[in-house]
Structure formats: structure tokens, C-alpha cells
């Protein structure tokens, strides 16, 4: 395989938008038929709603079909153990399952047939290729392998021809030793861990740019990766290019990922049908507007997901990308619907705060949001950030600057507290940065 070609699957990746729509419609019609005929759940659900796959004549017709969410999936799994009646193949055809832990402690399993798994890996290879990974790379996969959907993504890099180091989640000193010993050129981790690892190594005297050979960092699992300021900080620290990926345990590893242009994440449009909907009205939002991401699988035969409400707030564009790929791009994951704070009627996401904290180089980029309700029952937001300097002389000016920037971007006023460096807890894998002290959160 030559290493200089630009695309993994050129004809598919560069087809016109009309061709994308025709392909998706064909896949959708077949997939809905499969779900209706093979899954007891979908048969019942479609019949009860009065919809039938044969009614689907355009992509918009998906909107006649009912939503599903995590709760439905979990309930069906409990009712029909172990995988639930959304499953649409006999168990003998299932060869792999991933499972998400979830906050309730009941993991939901995502089954794959051999064909599902191979199609997924081909997509991972295509996605890695678009981010510049090549067969001469040494790729260190430091994601969790235990039932986690991110684990097998390494096989996509292997399919592409890269030398793959299956590191998993090992302690940071061990990981740095592995990266150094094998002179890895690429790594995949979460954005907060990429930062933590870089900071830790630097403190221990490692010169990330001279002692190591990392050129590409793939990140996923947190909104941080889609915030340019966060990526730029990690890039500055490592002297490497950062690519954001988006995956879901209930579908597959990378549903979308960045090409080398790094302006938005290209969707795997031949695998998933994307809707971005106003969470209240359920009407599609326009390009560039924020809405809830709702996904429908187009190929995954073991367990089709039809109109799965992800709870993730995203925005998208169909504008052509300079890389030549024509698939729709997700412009950003702004956070979870559950993470959205409503302060005095205004929506604000932790990612808005993160972008500001990372842009100001007098700040370390760490932050915490504290929401309280005062005596007059009004919401009060306090944002804690850290200065880089140990000298508190400029604190008032830093706080004023942050506060003005926040007001400009979000319309929300907040009390800003400047803390000395290394005060806030360092996040390792999944960062938790909101403390909501209000009694009734979403009532
Ligand atoms: Zn692109």
C-alpha cells in the first residue's frame, strides 16, 4: 500500500452531497426493514406508532419514527436478558460486545456481528487515514480495553498498516516509558489526560518535543477536544497535532473524526444518519445552531438503533471541507444536555468556560464552575480559574478580563475567583468540573 495517497476510499469520501443522500436513503430503507422484521422491539414499536419502513421515501421521513434513549435500551435489556429485544440477529451471529458502565450501574451491551465489526474497523482505518496516520507510524493506543468501545479502535490503525502498541490505561510513568522506548509517533487518549500526561512529564524533566517523537494525538470522550483553544494548548505542550474524535459505546468507536484540516469532525455518513434537533421542539436546527444529536444506525445489523437520543449538544455544517471530503461535519460537541447549566434563563456549557480559560495564557487552563442559589432564589455562578504566576498582583485584572469575555460570549455574568497555580484538582481521564449546589436542579 502506498503511503502518499490522500484518501482511504476516494470515490465514497469525495462523492457529491446528492450522492450521499441517495446512499443514505437506500441504506436507511434496508436497515429499517431489517429492524422491523428481525427485532421484536422495533416490530412492536413501529406498529404501535403506526409507521412502516415502506413509508420511507425521503430522509426526512425518519422523523415519523419514534425516538429511543438509554433508558429504553436498559429497560429492554432487563426485560429480555442479556442483550434485550432490540437485537435483530440470532445470538450465534454475535461475535463481540462492548458495554458502557453508565451512572446507574447497569451496563448496556452493544453487540456486533462479524460483518458489523469488520465494517467498523474499515471505517476506523478510513478515519485514521484522514487524520494523517500512515503505515510508517507507530501508534500507541492508551484507551481502556475492558468492554470499552474505544478499545478495539486500535485494530483500525492496525488494518491501516501502522505498527500498533496496545498500551491500554497504564500508570502515566509506565505509559511515558512505553512511548519513549518504542518512539511512538501517535497516541490516542482523552484531552484531559493528554494534558495531564504532558504536564506530568514536563515536571519530571522530560522534554516532550526533543525526548519523544509524538506527532499526532487523537482525543475523544470529552468536549474539550472540539474546543480549538484546548487543542492548541495540548499541541503547544507536546509539539504535536491534536485530532478530536467522537464515539458512542452504543454505536461504535469513532462516529466522527477530524481530518488534517481540523475544522470540525467528518461524520461516518455511510454508517449513521445524523439529526440535530432542538431538544424542546424536536425540530431540526439550522447549520451552525446547537441542538441535540440523534443518531440512526444504517448498517449495524446486530442491534439497530433507530433515532437514538444521545443527549449530546452539537452543531454541524455541510460546507465543503478543504480536504476534499464531502461528508457533513460536526462543528463541536458543546457538552451533554445534562451538563447544560441554565443560569438566570441563559444556557451555558462548561465548554464555553473552558474555551475562555484556555485562551488566556496568564491562566493554567484548569477551571471549575460552582452554581448556587442565593437568598433571593437567584442562581449565582462562580468560576474558579488558576493563574500561571505565583504572584497575586494581577488577580483583579485577570478576573475582570475573564468576566468580560464570558459575558461577551455567553451573556452570563459570573463571579470569577483567581486561584494560585496547582490549586484545582487535576483531571485524569474524564474531567468533572461542575459543582451544582442548587437543591432542585432541573425541576
Ligand atoms: Zn476535511
The pLDDT tens digits for 208-265 are 999 999 999 999 877 778 788 889 999 999 999 999 999 888 888 889 999 999 999 9
- Give the Å distance between the CA of 409 and the centre of ligand 1: 27
The tens digit of pLDDT for each residue in 127-184 reads: 999 999 999 999 999 988 888 888 999 999 999 999 999 999 899 999 999 999 999 9
Q: 166 or 347: which carries more pLDDT confidence?
A: 166
Peptide bond into 82 cis (omega under 30): yes
In the chain, residues under CATH classification 3.30.300.30 are 341-436
Task: Tell me how far the alpha carbon of residue 259 lies from the centroid of ligand 1, in angstroms.
Answer: 5
Query: 5 CA distance to ligand 1 centroid (A)?
Result: 15
386 close to 418: Cβ distance less than 8 angstroms: yes
Distance in Å, CA 152 to ligand 1 centroid: 24
* Alpha-carbon span 332 to 328, nearest angstrom: 12
**Domain span(s) for CATH 3.40.50.12780 in the chain:** 7-336
- SS3 string, 37-104, reads HHCHHHHHHHHHHCCCHHHCCCHHHHHHCCCECHHHHHHHHHHCCCCCCCCCCCHHHEEEEEEECCCC
What is the Cβ-side half-sphere exposure of residue 290, based on CA atoms within 13 angstroms? 15
Distance 322 CA to ligand 1 centre (A): 6
Cα(22) to ligand 1 centroid in Å equals 21
Q: Ligand 1 centroid to 293 CA: how many Å? A: 20
- pLDDT (tens digit, 9 = 90+) per residue, 188-210? 998 888 999 999 999 999 999 99
Spacing, Cα 308 to ligand 1 middle (Å)? 26
Edge-to-edge order in the sheet of strand 186-189: 163-166, 138-141, 186-189, 216-219, 241-246, 256-258, 265-267, 329-336, 308-317, 291-297, 272-277
| Phi, psi for 383 (deg, rounded to 5) | -115, 125
Q: How far is the CA of 261 from the centre of ligand 1 (A)?
A: 6
Largest interatomic CA distance in the chain: 69
- Provide CATH code, domain 7-336: 3.40.50.12780
265 CA to centre of ligand 1 in angstroms: 8
Q: By three-state DSSP, how is residue 330 classified?
A: strand
Quote the ligand 1 centre to 258 CA distance (angstroms): 7
Q: Does residue 297 sit in helix, strand or coil?
A: strand
Residues in CB range of 97: below 8 A, 6 or more apart:
83, 109, 110, 111, 112, 147
Q: How far apart are CA 214 and CA 185, in angstroms?
A: 4
Task: State in Å: Cα 305 to ligand 1 middle.
Answer: 27
Strands (E), 220-374: 241-246, 256-258, 265-267, 272-277, 291-297, 308-317, 329-336, 341-343, 346-348, 363-373
Distance 158 CA to ligand 1 centre (A): 22
Residue 377 has pLDDT above 80, yes or no: no
Distance 264 CA to ligand 1 centre (A): 8
Ligand 1 geometric centre to CA of 257 (Å)? 9
CA of 255 to the centre of ligand 1 (A): 15
Please give the average per-residue pLDDT across 89-115, as a whole number.
86
Q: Which CATH architecture has domain 341-436?
A: 2-Layer Sandwich (3.30)
Compute the distance from residue 326 Cα to the ligand 1 centre, in Å.
Answer: 8
262 alpha carbon to ligand 1 midpoint, in Å? 7
pTM of the entire predicted model: 0.82
Amino acid at each position: 500500500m502506498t503511503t502518499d495517497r490522500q484518501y482511504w476510499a476516494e470515490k465514497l469520501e469525495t462523492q457529491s452531497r446528492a450522492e450521499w443522500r441517495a446512499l443514505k436513503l437506500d441504506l436507511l430503507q434496508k436497515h429499517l426493514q431489517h429492524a422491523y422484521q428481525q427485532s421484536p422491539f422495533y416490530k412492536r414499536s413501529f406498529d404501535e406508532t403506526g409507521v412502516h419502513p415502506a413509508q420511507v421515501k425521503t430522509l426526512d421521513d425518519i422523523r415519523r419514527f419514534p425516538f429511543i434513549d438509554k433508558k429504553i435500551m436498559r429497560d429492554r435489556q432487563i426485560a429480555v436478558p442479556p442483550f434485550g429485544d432490540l437485537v435483530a440477529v440470532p445470538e450465534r451471529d454475535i461475535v463481540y460486545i462492548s458495554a458502557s458502565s453508565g451512572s446507574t450501574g447497569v451496563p448496556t451491551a452493544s453487540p456486533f456481528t462479524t460483518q458489523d465489526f469488520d465494517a467498523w474497523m474499515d471505517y476506523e482505518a478510513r478515519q485514521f487515514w484522514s487524520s494523517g496516520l500512515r503505515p510508517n507510524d507507530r501508534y500507541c493506543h492508551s484507551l481502556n480495553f475492558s468492554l470499552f468501545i474505544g478499545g478495539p479502535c486500535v485494530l483500525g490503525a492496525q488494518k491501516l498498516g501502522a505498527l500498533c502498541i496496545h498500551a491500554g490505561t497504564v500508570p502515566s510513568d509506565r505509559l511515558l516509558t512505553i512511548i519513549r522506548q518504542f518512539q511512538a509517533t501517535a497516541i490516542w487518549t482523552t484531552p484531559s489526560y493528554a494534558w495531564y500526561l504532558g504536564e506530568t512529564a514536563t515536571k519530571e524533566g522530560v522534554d516532550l518535543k526533543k525526548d519523544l517523537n509524538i506527532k499526532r494525538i487523537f482525543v475523544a470522550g470529552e468536549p474539550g477536544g472540539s474546543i480549538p483553544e484546548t487543542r492548541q494548548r495540548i499541541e503547544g505542550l507536546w509539539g504535536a497535532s491534536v485530532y478530536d474524535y467522537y464515539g458512542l459505546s452504543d454505536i461504535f468507536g469513532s462516529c466522527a473524526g477530524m481530518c488534517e484540516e481540523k475544522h470540525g469532525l467528518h461524520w461516518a455518513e455511510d454508517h449513521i444518519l445524523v439529526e440535530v434537533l432542538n431538544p424542546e421542539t424536536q425540530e431540526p436546527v439550522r447549520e451552525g445552531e446547537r441542538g441535540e444529536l440523534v443518531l440512526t444506525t444504517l448498517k449495524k445489523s446486530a442491534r439497530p438503533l433507530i433515532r437514538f437520543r444521545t443527549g449530546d449538544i452539537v452543531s454541524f455544517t455541510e460546507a465543503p471541507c478543504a480536504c476534499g471530503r464531502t461528508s457533513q461535519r460536526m462543528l463541536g460537541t458543546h457538552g451533554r444536555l445534562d451538563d447544560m447549566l441554565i443560569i438566570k434563563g441563559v444556557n451555558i456549557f462548561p465548554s464555553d468556560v473552558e474555551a475562555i480559560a484556555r485562551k488566556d495564557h496568564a491562566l493554567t487552563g484548569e477551571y471549575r464552575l460552582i452554581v448556587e442559589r442565593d437568598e433571593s432564589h437567584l442562581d449565582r455562578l462562580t468560576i474558579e480559574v488558576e493563574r500561571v504566576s505565583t504572584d497575586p498582583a494581577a488577580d483583579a485584572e485577570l478576573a475582570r478580563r475573564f468576566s468580560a469575555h464570558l459575558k461577551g460570549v455567553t451573556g452570563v455574568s459570573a463571579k470569577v475567583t483567581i486561584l494560585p497555580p496547582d490549586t484545582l484538582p487535576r483531571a485524569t481521564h474524564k474531567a468533572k468540573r461542575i459543582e451544582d449546589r442548587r437543591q432542585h436542579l432541573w425541576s
